[in-house]
Each structure stands twice: as structure tokens, then as C-alpha cells.
Amino acid sequence: MLVQLAVSGLALGSMYGLVALGYHMTWATSRTLNFSQGHVVMVGAVVAYAAHVAGGWPLAAAVAVTLLAAAAFGLVVERIAVRPFFRAGSPVWLLATIALGIIVENVAMLAFGKDARAFPSALALKPVFVLGAGVYPQELLLPVVGVALMGATQLFYHRTFYGRQLKAVAWDSEAAGLMGIDVPRAVAVSYALSSVLAGVAGLLLAPLLNVSPTMGTLIGLKAFAVAIIGGLTSAAGIVVAGFLYGLVEALVAGYVSTGAREIVGFAVVIAMLIVRPWGLGGARPARRV
Amino acid sequence: MRRGLLTLLVIVALAALAGAPTAQPAPIKVGLAAAVSGGSAASGEAIKRGLQIAIDEVNARGGLLGGRKLELVVRDDEGNPQKGVTIARELVERERVAAVFGGLHTTVALAQVPVWHELATPYVGTWAAGTNITRNGKKPNFVFRVSANDDEVDKFLVRYAAERLKRGRPGLLLENTAWGQSNEAGLTKWFGERSVKAVGIEKFNWNDPDMSPQLLRLKQGGADVVMLVANAPEGAQVVKSKAKVGWDVPIVSHWGISGGRFAELTGELSEGVVFVQTYSFFGKQNARGEAVLKALRDRYGVKGPEDVTAPVGTANAYDALHLVALAIEQAKSTDGAKVRDALEELKAEYAGLIKTYKHPFTSEQHDALTERDYIMVVWKGGKIVPVQ
């Protein structure tokens, strides 16, 4: 039972981490967040469904279209829900991104319907048994792809020229601007990348969760909890927090009660905000005088 | 003189023409208040089809009360209780309907109960199964139902698990909503009658991705049958998680998994899951079943029983309309109170689609269908077929 719970928990946890990493990316470059991150997960799944299942496209083409759609959505969010308010120094971007998410959800309901649809995958048909615990191969794929992508984003930040530019913006956007880095573009790119991560999560989760307009809401919320626990400024902290959150969630549901699961998860968030608001991996911010 | 005669003739002819419509007696309107848009639109459409097919049969026989034709007025409740109350008033006060038929949502039906009472208009539920809709404590009670009733369903499911499957250690798996709660009470009560106690009661939320913790807890508790109260998406997650934890246990389910796309979502894992229905268009049909299937084919392009979406809605609505038609005839009036009284004291026997109704309602019993009339069906090859 322990192994069973752990496997399920870690699989979901890797997806929380992946989506949460998206929060981290935009936070780092612009100190803003896309609160409709959960809806991007849904967009990823719905677009993949439309292309692959309904449209009959080959999987590779469907994946490419899905990633493009997610990136485009990220750019739209940044352009119309964040940039106008961010420039004015107003925190209205918070509400604007939520509003955009609700709009997308309702558009999906109109275009796609409210019924959950199946996303067939050879990896989610028959469970395999590992150490006596059943698991769908797709669930094993989640942490593999998740960790690989998390690693790739770190490589991008540290090893590529453009990645370093983004990092410079994250460090000090004013100075980066003075050094000739196009800061607004860097912010837009971070939004696109952040949405791609969520889109990938949607793609990977579709065969396990089924595809529906409301599928991403709870994941987006839990990923936000993970980002807070891990520390919005710390990619590593978020990755660890994602796995921990998934694991604790599964163990609480299995050994305490399924009703206690959400209570424990979000109670930890509040406790974290009080005790260590910069998160597990974040550095205590220096006080500017 | 000639000219005057001509004018007179024209006037007479015009008068005759103008008078022609009044020679046809005014139609009797009946209402449908159900969700005909949004996620539950399929249920509303199924009910509408059942009502319309029955209305056409009544009208083809010459209508009611000496040639008055029945006419259906449809209003959308959008699954929203407030909207349900608004359209209930509109149907009675503006459209002057003689009776109203109801839709899928228990919450809407419950909100409307006081309205039917206040406006003295009989209401016949054709889907929503909430126990308190008909057992609402009103006297006289204007709310009737030709559908399932949660309490009766629970009794039926418990009997199936205990007598047919011979299981004595049930695990309850319910959605965390008012509907789940009402069935928790019902299942506990009817298992209690047999001195059986559930070994575990587990809940899940809508959109929960993984049900293995709940199933593992029930398995650890030693459950030998899972009693499931879920809609299609969550029911599908239960079935998938059950395969994952490698637990071979029968699932006995309420009818929520018949809506949506349970078979599509679960593939071959749906095989063998049993659940309750009021009617199935599969297998040998009585004369009415044949007629309804033919009408569905001719009018709505339904190819066969596997193509009937939300079959219980059509079947329940069809019988409900005929029962109301008989009550209007017996009352010799469309007055709400008189039709209500006639429904409770229906003298004519009605050989219907689901069963033969003899005195279907009494002052105490406002559910025409009880657990004796339900059938158990099973998913087989993606289709719903009756359990033999």
C-alpha cells in the first residue's frame, strides 16, 4: 500500500512541480504570475485532443501544435492581462489573468462541450506492476518527462546566451535594461515558456485524467501551493516541493482520510507563509533600507 | 339590390372564414422545465423526445376533453435552481400550462416544490431522483414522479449486492456532494435493515485525478463489493484506479455513470460494471417499446437502441405524459387541483412502456416507479444491456 501510494503521489507531484515552475519563471523576470496557469494545462489537453483524437493528426504533429498553442496563449496573457497593468505599477494583472482563465474555460465549454472525453494512449491502457504496486506506464512517464524538462530549463538559463539574458532580467531588470537587454521581450518569453510547461503537463495528464474544460483548475491551484512552499524564487525548491506535495497528499489520503487531503495541503501553505514566506528553497530577501 | 346581396355574401363568407379557427377547440398546454442547454442538454432533449412522441400519439387519437390537442411548451432551467423557479412561474402564469414535467437536477426540482404548491399545478418529475422531491411533506402534494427515487434505488442496489452477489462487506464510494450524502444515508439504512454495516465510507471530489487511496482503504477494510455513487467522469477514474491497484471486486453503481461517456472514458474496463435503470431499449420490447423506437428512428434519426442517448429520460417522460393525459380525461378539466386529485385516484389502467400502471399514485406514494420496477443493467462491449 505504501509503494502504491508513493508511486501515484510522486507521479502527480512531478506535474505539480512542472506547472509550479511556470509560476517561478514569470515571477523571476517580472514579479508577476499567470494565475490561469491551471487553465493552460487544460488548453494543452484540449488542443492535443482536438488535433490528435478528433482531427486524427499524428501524435508528433499534435504535440507540436499543442506546444505552439500553449506558447501563444502565454504571449496573449502577457500582452493583454499583464503588460498594461504591470507598466502602470498596478497589481490588477492578478485579476486580469484570472479573468482570462475563466474566459478560456468558458470558450472551451462552448467549443469542446462540458463532457469529459477520453484521450486514448497505449501507455494508459493496462497497468504494470512494480514492487507489487500497480501503475500505468503513463504515470511513470510523468516524472521522467517532468524532471527532464526541469533540467532542460536550468540548462537553458545557465548555458545559453538568451537564457542568461533572462536570468539577468530576473536578477535586476533595471540594470539589464541599461545593458541593452530587451526587458519587455524577456518577460514575454518567460510567459511563453511558463505556458509551454503547463501545456506539456496537460498533454501528459490527458490520458490519465480525461479531457474536460475544468480539468486544470485544481492542478493550477495545487501547483501554486507548491510554488509557495518551494519558494517562488527557487526552481530547485519548487521541484522538491512538488514531489513532497504529491507524496504527502497521497499518504494523507491513504492513511488518514481522503477528506483530510486538501485540508492538510493548504494548511501547510498557510503555515509556510507565516513561518518561512520565502519558501523551502528561496533565500531570505535582504531588507533594503 | 344585387349589389347589396353580393356584399352580404362576402360578409357571410368572411365571417365563416374568421370563425373557422374557433371551431377548433383551444389546445391544452403542458410544460417541460428542464436543462436543455449546457452539459446536461442531452437529458433535456431525451425527455422532450419522450414527451413529444407521447403527445403525438394522444393527438392522433383525437386529443383530450373532446378534441383539444396537447401542446408542449419547453423552458430551459439551465440546471440553475433560481432559473428553475422563474420558469416554473412563467409556465403556469403566462403559458397557463395544465401540468409541468421536470428534468435532471435534484437541486432545481427541490427549489420548485413550493411553486407548484402555491400555484396548484401538478408536476411530474421524469429524472431527478432526490428522495425529498416527492416526499416533501406538503399536503396536498402536487409533486409526482415517474423515475427513480434515491431511497428506492439504494434499497434496490443493496438487495442486488446482498441477494444476487451474496456480498456482506460493502464499501461505499460516494461523490462528495448532496447527492452522495443522500445515498450514503439510504445505503446505510438499507444495509442496516439486513444487519450489514459498511466496512468503509469513502468520498471523492469532482475532477479528482486518482481514486486509488480511497480504493486501497476500502480494500484494507476487507470490502467484498463497492457501492458506487458517481457521475461518468469520476466513475471512470474509479474503474481505472481499481484496475491499477489490482483489486478484483464487483462494482454496483447508481445510474450516474449512464450519462456522459463512461464507456469511452474507460474502454474495456467498463466491462461488467452493473448499475440501475428504469428502462432499457435493448432486448425484446413490448408494443410501446417498438412504437417509441420507430418514432425515434423516423423523427430523430436514431438508428437503434445503442443510439438512444439518455434512454431513461425518454422512457420516463413517455409514460409520465400518458399518465397525465389519463388524469386530465378523468378530471374532465385542466384545473390543476382537479388533475392532481385525478392522478392520485387514477382509475384507468395504463399499459405503458416501463410497466402496466394500476393506480400508480396514492396520497402517500407519489413515485409511480419503485424498486420492484427498476432493472439492473451492465456495460458489455461499450453498450448497456440488461443483466440476465
| CA A198 – CA B146 distance, rounded (Å) | 47
pLDDT of residue B18: 55
Q: How many CB atoms lie within 10 A of CB A90?
A: 11
What pLDDT digit, counting tens, does each position of B70-89 carry?
A: 999 999 998 889 999 999 99
Per-residue pLDDT, averaged over B344-362, amounts to 96
- Tell if the CB–CB gap between B203 and A217 is shorter than 8 Å: no
pLDDT of residue B4: 64
- Tell if the CB–CB gap between B261 and A215 is shorter than 8 Å: no
Q: How far is B109 from chain A (nearest CA, A)?
A: 22
Say if residue B3's pLDDT is above 70.
no
Helix, strand or coil, per DSSP, at residue B70: strand
Say if residue B116's pLDDT is above 80.
yes
Tally DSSP H helices, then E strands, for chain A: 12, 2
- Hey, of A258, A261, A264, A266, which one would you mutate to test binding to chain B, going by the most B CBs within 10 A of its CB? A258
- Hey, of A115, A129, A212, A263, which one would you mutate to test binding to chain B, going by the most B CBs within 10 A of its CB? A115
| Pair A56, A165: CB distance under 8 Å | no
Low-confidence ranges of chain A (pLDDT < 70): 287-289
Residues paired with B75 in a beta bridge? B33
Q: Measured between alpha carbons, how far is residue A268 from residues A35, A263, B145, B376 in Å?
A: 20, 9, 48, 45
From first CA to last CA, the distance across chain A in angstroms is: 53
B172 — phi, psi (to 5°)?
A: -95, 135
Q: How far is A114 from chain B (nearest CA, A)?
A: 5
**B93-98 long-range contacts, CB within 8 A, separation 24+:** B93/B119, B95/B29, B95/B31, B96/B29, B97/B29, B97/B30, B97/B31, B97/B73, B97/B121, B98/B28, B98/B29, B98/B30, B98/B122, B98/B324, B98/B328, B98/B334, B98/B336, B98/B339
Partner residue opposite B213 with nearest CB, options A124, A129, A250: A250
Say if residue B12's pLDDT is above 60.
no
Instruction: Say which range, A79-88, B217-226, B288-297, has the weakest mean pLDDT.
Output: A79-88
- Hey, of B205, B216, B247, B249, which one would you mutate to test binding to chain A, going by the most A CBs within 10 A of its CB? B216
What amino acid is encoded at A126 in this protein?
K
| Pair A18, A146: CB distance under 8 Å | yes
Per-residue pLDDT, averaged over B240-251, amounts to 93
Say if residue B59's pLDDT is above 60.
yes
Average pLDDT, chain B: 91
- Tell if the CB–CB gap between B216 and A208 is shorter than 8 Å: no
The ipTM estimated for the assembled molecules is 0.86
Say if residue B22's pLDDT is above 70.
no
Question: Quick one: cell of B259?
Answer: 450519462
Say if residue B14's pLDDT is above 60.
no
**B24: confidence class by pLDDT, cuts 50, 70, 90:** confident
- Which is more confidently placed, B8 or B219? B219
Per-residue pLDDT, averaged over B173-185, amounts to 90
A155 — phi, psi (to 5°)?
A: -60, -45
Alpha helices, H only, chain B: 2-23, 41-60, 81-89, 106-118, 131-134, 150-159, 178-193, 212-220, 232-244, 262-266, 287-300, 311-331, 336-344
Helix, strand or coil, per DSSP, at residue B64: strand
Per-residue pLDDT, averaged over B180-184, amounts to 91
Partner residue opposite B202 with nearest CB, options A208, A218, A258: A258
Dihedral sign of CA atoms A145, A151, A153, A159 in order: negative
Q: How far is A69 from chain B (nearest CA, A)?
A: 24
Instruction: Say which range, B111-125, B148-162, B258-272, has the weakest mean pLDDT.
Output: B258-272
Contacts of A134 in chain B (CB under 8 A): 243-246
From first CA to last CA, the distance across chain B in angstroms is: 85
Contacts of A115 in chain B (CB under 8 A): 39, 232, 260-261
Q: How far is B215 from chain A (nearest CA, A)?
A: 9
CB within 8 Å of B105: residues ≥ 6 apart: B35, B40, B77, B79, B81, B84, B128
Q: What is the CA radius of gyration of chain A?
A: 19
**B215: confidence class by pLDDT, cuts 50, 70, 90:** very high
Residues paired with A134 in a beta bridge? A129
| CA A126 – CA A163 distance, rounded (Å) | 40
